[in-house]
Amino acid sequence: GARHIDGALAANNPSAIAIHEASRLFPGVPLHCVVSLATGTSPPRATQGAGVGLPGIVKALIDSAIGPAPIANCLEDLLPSGVYHRFSPQGSAFDVAIDQTEKAKLDALTGSTLDYVALERHRFAA
Reported as a single tens digit per residue, the pLDDT across 68-98 is 778 888 899 999 999 999 998 988 898 888 8
* Residues 126 and 75 sit within 8 Å (Cβ to Cβ): no
Find the mean pLDDT for residues 38-52.
Answer: 70
Distance from C-alpha of 43 to C-alpha of 91, rounded to nearest angstrom: 6
Distance from C-alpha of 46 to C-alpha of 49, rounded to nearest angstrom: 9
pLDDT of 112 higher than 80: yes
pLDDT of 6 higher than 70: no
pLDDT at 32 (0 to 100): 94
What residues does 87 pair with on adjacent strands?
Answer: 37
Find the mean pLDDT for residues 105-117.
Answer: 93
Helix, strand, coil percentages for the chain (3-state, nearest 5): 50, 10, 40
Report residue 31's pLDDT band, with 50, 70 and 90 as the boundaries: very high
